[in-house]
Chains A and B, each alone.
Chain A
Amino acid sequence: MIGRRRRGTRLGVGESRAGMIALGMAAWVIGMLWIFPVAWTRH
């Protein structure tokens, strides 16, 4: 395993990779919803 580079965010105590991914995806969904009225503006 020598020389193998660690990838991804380092997890804290009690944090799970799946939980972090789910929260990241939730943040993306909310971000897209929040910008929707602006993005939907017809020029």
Chain B
Amino acid sequence: MTVTAADATLKVKRKGKVGDPFSAPWRRRLPLLPALLFMIAVTQLPFLVSIYYSFTNLKDRTQSLIPEPTKFVGIDNYRAIFDDPFFRQAMWTSVKMTVLAVLLSLVFGTLFAILLDRKFVGQGVVRTLLITPFLLMPVVAALIWKQQMFSSLFGTLDKVLDFLGFAPVAFISDHPLASIVTVLVWQWTPFMMLIMLAGLQSQPSDIIEAARVDGATPFGIFRQLTLPHLRRYLELGALLGSIYIVQAFDAVDQMTGGGPGSTNVPYFVYQESIGGGFRYGSASAYAIVVVVFSIVIATFSLRVLSGLLKDEERA
């Protein structure tokens, strides 16, 4: 193999000098720079401004009769957070809402994925029917359930209960958290189903067939072969679902407007700021605390997840 002069020149050009903005690696990176700057401008700068606001008593001056000047208050906003019973209640509601919605979505998603993981007439149509709720905007899903399913006046569920001879139930007024969780489960089950379906389709069929030949029952195969195989997919679904569902806002806003027992942390921060409180300083502190908690939980979960995956690879 001979090296021509052109090849040698190309190699020198590609290598370039370290930090030279006209070297080949930098010429590849430069087109990404506008996107990077845009991302920093729309995500990181507002976060930094929120951190600054969280150390001030910033309020909407147009909302008070005697406007107060904005001043630096140190960590007063952070101190007040943990004494606030409403915030503790919102945290607890967020935990219940997220845990219930994620667990139920995972269970239904796994069951639906098992049903879809076989050939039958109209398999593609059924898959589309099941995925559709996930494609709806959250606010639309919440309105559909509020107006057409849960409504005491013309809701379908009460009509069904009436037809079956049961007394009507005021779902949203009497069971606000359960109503919101129902909508979240309805929307997020397809997401979990897709993850589980990917897991089921990656399972080698020869092992299942060998187990059947050996006389294993369907439940035994599921418990001892399918479920261990799905573990990493279940963990991934739980992690991604938790990250998204903990931010649920639309369902709370549209269905209960933060009624008793249904105010979660995002809705609480909204109420504290542009939703009527107009206390931007303390609302920023609440938001920062929630972000820090979320990062800690997500980092911990990701470490657990990657540790489990490594263990499985070693095994």
Contact = CB atoms under 8 A, between A and B. Distances in A.
Report if A and B associate in a common complex.
yes
Interface of A: 9, 12-14, 20-21, 23-24, 26-28, 30-32, 34-35, 37-38, 40-42
A34 B186 contact: yes
Contact of B118 (A20, A30, A37, A41): A20
B115 A30 contact: yes
A37 B160 CA distance: 14
Interface residues of B, number: 30
A40 B129 contact: no
Interface stretch (B70-78, B130-138, B258-266): B130-138
Contacts of B123: 24, 27
B148 A41 contact: yes
Interface of A is mostly: helix
Contacts of B209: 12-13
A34 B129 contact: yes
B295 interface: no
Contact of A38 (B121, B126, B127, B136): B136
A24 B117 CA distance: 10
A38 B132 CA distance: 9
Contacts of A37: 133, 144-145, 148-149, 156, 186
A30 B112 contact: yes
Contact of A9 (B120, B126, B127, B186): B120
5 contacts: A12-B209, A13-B212, A13-B213, A30-B130, A37-B148
Contacts of B156: 37, 40
Nearest to A22: B120
A14 B212 contact: yes
